[in-house]
Amino acid sequence: MAAFEAVLKMRLLRPAVVLIPLILLVSYGMAVATADTLDTVQEQLLNSAATAFAQGNYRPAANALPELENTYMGPWVGYWSLQPRLKTMTQGQYQRYAERYPSGVAHHLLRHQWLSELAQRKDWSDFTQVYQAGSVPDSIGLRCDAARDPLLSTSTVIAPFFLWRSAAANDHACNTMARAYLKQGQITPPELWQRLQQMYEASAFNAALRFAPFLPAPQSGQLAQTVTAPAAWISQQIQQYGRNNWPTGQTHLLALALLRLAATHPAQAAQFVRTLGVLPAAAKSLVLYNTAYHATLSFRSESGHWYAQAYAADPQFRPRPQLLAWMVRTALRDGDWSMVEQATQQMDAAQRRQRQWQFWFAVALLQLGHTQAAHVLLAALESPWTYYGQLAMATLNRPLVLKPGDPSALTGAGAALDEEVPERTAITLYQLGLYYDALAEWDHFLKGLDGAPEIKAAAQVAFHHAAWLLGIHASSLIRGGKDWQQGYVLPYAQEISAAAAQTGLRRAFLAGLIRQESGFAFGIQSDVGAQGLMQVMPATAQWLQTHIPAADNADLHSVRGNLILGSHYLSLQRQHFGGSELLAAAAYNAGPSAPQRWLSRWTPPAGPWAGPIFTANIPFQQTRHYVQSVLTNTAVYAAILDQKPQAIWPQWRLGTSP
């Protein structure tokens, strides 16, 4: 996962404690030019406005706006002056902002938030005006709001059910829209049953129960029982109708009850499927796939058997992609390479094209004796920059070798790009500690560039100003291979080396983890309060300061102190898991009890595949991607720091289990 994606998924807060004066010389970069941007007074006003905004206070921004509105930061200062008071904002205030700043990232954010607020108020007149004044929002929730806007609903070209089924099961806006259209009879009963099935598969039971009034009377009063006591409800229905002939509505409820049961008591769900003749083949397959899916997340040994039963029940049934993904992972655990092949062949074209499934399909071919076909697929996947690319290299017994890339971007190109307002704005936001906004502005800017040379030049400008996360993201967008000379920068090298030496960690491992945690943005803070380069939680820091003498005076909010705290914690995890960097990374992200719990439920196979198969089966998607990214980064940094080819298999070993 690119650092940009990681930060967006963390939904970063805007910390006030890391604000940096724009005229400050940064130790790894140079001062931002001010002659043609902001003067000293304006910089002070900007810093005060940003600090207050991070604390939810709009007044300093509102007071500074007359002085800053005509500068390149005007749209953001205007945004800071309005966003904290969104609940009391008026249409007139929004309109004045929109007329002054009709485009740009800040306006895009404010428009999105204002539309959501207007929908909550049911102020459809103003909602219609704002909605029609710009492009159709990307947010499916806002599109659902537009579909229930009486002034827009007649012009909606997308069927309400299509919107509803495309949204997340718990999406409040789309569920509200759906209830309105159900009242009007514009969503049919079969469509309602289909959507309820999706909700049960997503375990969105509370959201599903709100649709009980729209079911026929007999089923409406029973829907809650399928959630609260599914096994008891099924047993009652068997007593009433037997095992083979049920009314259609009761059969629909049965499928829902079995999906609910699959999430909590998979063996019981599988038993009911085997003994009930009332379910059609597709419904049996659906329930068994979900049974196997929920069972495999807790490493139950029956998971593979239930996946096989699901396929046998209806070979033509096409389960959702998530179920097939876990069918592959279950087969990897069981060493069932024929099931790996079968599951990947069931995937649709888009899912099958993903690198992870191409890789495991190639390995299945290799294990099943189709060596030539496997090597062709693996050779196409080879890459030093991606997790499965590195695994493909390892499978083909090729070391990771970094070759010098193209020369660095021309200084002339960098200088020209440095005059671009969006670029300057993104870097300023970054230096103010508003990382989410900086990344949004930066990504918008990068999308307007023309090819790799301009993107590389933009990355150099970001690094020139010590905006490491922005530069890393820019480098990751270069197609046809990343530029290790830029994308794998190593700021704070001395501090990282010192922390690695003190704790016995490899520099490459420590650098690879930091790159994933923060993209070297030293002031970054997560939505749960994790701090700094290594995203250390305050409670963890306090424990380390109490129990580790070398960390007793470490400052969580400084570069050096954060590295001391984070590296000692990481080192403790590595020691606990027998020297395995893979398990240490998993513990660092998910907590030390998580990998220990997974290992206690399942013993990975011996040999080099143990690590990759264990990683593929990590139940938490975030942790799974995190470990893959950290290990990929580590291999690249090892090649850079050691200045020699790297064997890939050793870093994926599981070590000695605790």
Specify the pLDDT at position 153.
72
Q: Are residues 160 and 196 in the same domain?
A: no
Specify the pLDDT at position 36.
52
pLDDT in tens, 550-559: 999 999 999 9
- Does any domain span residue 138? yes
Q: Are residues 152 and 13 in the same domain?
A: yes
Do the Cβ atoms of 234 and 257 come closer than 8 Å?
yes
The Cα 511–Cα 496 span in angstroms is: 7
Q: Which residue has the tokens 């009034």?
A: 213
Q: pLDDT band at residue 598, thresholds of 50, 70 and 90?
A: very high
Q: pLDDT band at residue 414, thresholds of 50, 70 and 90?
A: very low
Amino acid (one-letter) located at 205: F
Specify the pLDDT at position 157.
60
- Does any domain span residue 391? no
- Does any domain span residue 346? no
Q: pLDDT band at residue 644, thresholds of 50, 70 and 90?
A: very high
Burial class (CB in 10 A: 0-12, 13-18, 19+), 259: buried
In this predicted structure, the answer to whether residue 195 has a pLDDT above a threshold of 60 is: yes
State the average pLDDT over residues 62-79: 96
In this predicted structure, the answer to whether residue 657 has a pLDDT above a threshold of 60 is: no
The Cα 415–Cα 461 span in angstroms is: 8
How long a stretch of residues is the chain? 658
Share of the chain above pLDDT 90, in %: 82
Q: Are residues 144 and 201 in the same domain?
A: no
Specify the pLDDT at position 651.
85
Q: Are residues 129 and 65 in the same domain?
A: yes
- Does any domain span residue 556? yes
The Cα 172–Cα 33 span in angstroms is: 46
Do the Cβ atoms of 327 and 309 come closer than 8 Å?
no
Domain total in the chain: 3
Q: Which residue has the tokens 């290790």?
A: 484
Specify the pLDDT at position 403.
74
DSSP 400: B
C-alpha gyration radius of the chain:
28
- Does any domain span residue 461? no
pLDDT in tens, 606-632: 888 999 999 999 999 999 999 999 999
In this predicted structure, the answer to whether residue 1 has a pLDDT above a threshold of 70 is: no
* Cα separations in angstroms, 73 against 47, 69, 109, 311: 11, 7, 15, 58
Cβ-proximal residues to 501 (8 Å cutoff; 6+ apart), any chain = none
Q: 525 - beta bridge partners? A: 531
The Cα 57–Cα 55 span in angstroms is: 6
* Three-class SS state of 531: strand
* Three-class SS state of 494: helix
Q: Are residues 41 and 136 in the same domain?
A: yes
Do the Cβ atoms of 496 and 514 come closer than 8 Å?
yes
The Cα 178–Cα 161 span in angstroms is: 7
pLDDT in tens, 261-289: 999 999 999 999 999 999 999 999 999 99
In this predicted structure, the answer to whether residue 507 has a pLDDT above a threshold of 70 is: yes
Neighbours of 32 (CB within 10 A): 22
The Cα 137–Cα 262 span in angstroms is: 37
Q: Are residues 161 and 216 in the same domain?
A: no
- Does any domain span residue 418? no
**CATH at residue 540:** 1.10.530.10
Specify the pLDDT at position 32.
33
Q: Are residues 130 and 267 in the same domain?
A: no
Least trusted range by pLDDT, from 166-170, 412-416, 428-432, 453-457: 412-416
Q: Domain boundary residue among 279, 303, 336?
A: 279
Q: Domain boundary residue among 257, 279, 301?
A: 279
Q: pLDDT band at residue 15, thresholds of 50, 70 and 90?
A: very low
Q: Domain boundary residue among 228, 256, 279?
A: 279
Q: Are residues 153 and 228 in the same domain?
A: no
pLDDT in tens, 298-355: 999 999 999 999 999 999 999 999 999 999 999 999 999 999 999 999 999 999 999 9
Do the Cβ atoms of 368 and 338 come closer than 8 Å?
yes
- Does any domain span residue 120? yes
Q: Are residues 33 and 91 in the same domain?
A: yes
Among residues 219, 220, 227, 217, the alpha carbon closest in space to that of 258 is found at: 227
Q: Are residues 87 and 145 in the same domain?
A: yes
* Cα separations in angstroms, 507 against 504, 561, 623: 9, 17, 21
Domain of 565, in residue numbers: 493-652
Do the Cβ atoms of 385 and 481 come closer than 8 Å?
yes
The Cα 24–Cα 301 span in angstroms is: 59
The Cα 98–Cα 111 span in angstroms is: 8
Cβ-proximal residues to 92 (8 Å cutoff; 6+ apart), any chain = none
The Cα 165–Cα 461 span in angstroms is: 43
Do the Cβ atoms of 538 and 525 come closer than 8 Å?
no
Do the Cβ atoms of 33 and 385 come closer than 8 Å?
no
Q: Are residues 158 and 13 in the same domain?
A: yes
State the average pLDDT over residues 512-535: 94
Mean of the per-residue pLDDT values of the chain: 90
Specify the pLDDT at position 606.
82
Q: Are residues 123 and 193 in the same domain?
A: no
Burial class (CB in 10 A: 0-12, 13-18, 19+), 656: exposed
- Does any domain span residue 328? no
Cβ-proximal residues to 539 (8 Å cutoff; 6+ apart), any chain = none
H/E segment holding residue 486: helix 484-487
Cβ-proximal residues to 88 (8 Å cutoff; 6+ apart), any chain = none
Encoded tokens for 381: 């996947």
Cβ-proximal residues to 357 (8 Å cutoff; 6+ apart), any chain = 325, 328, 344, 347, 351
Q: Which residue has the tokens 């706006």?
A: 65
In this predicted structure, the answer to whether residue 582 has a pLDDT above a threshold of 80 is: yes
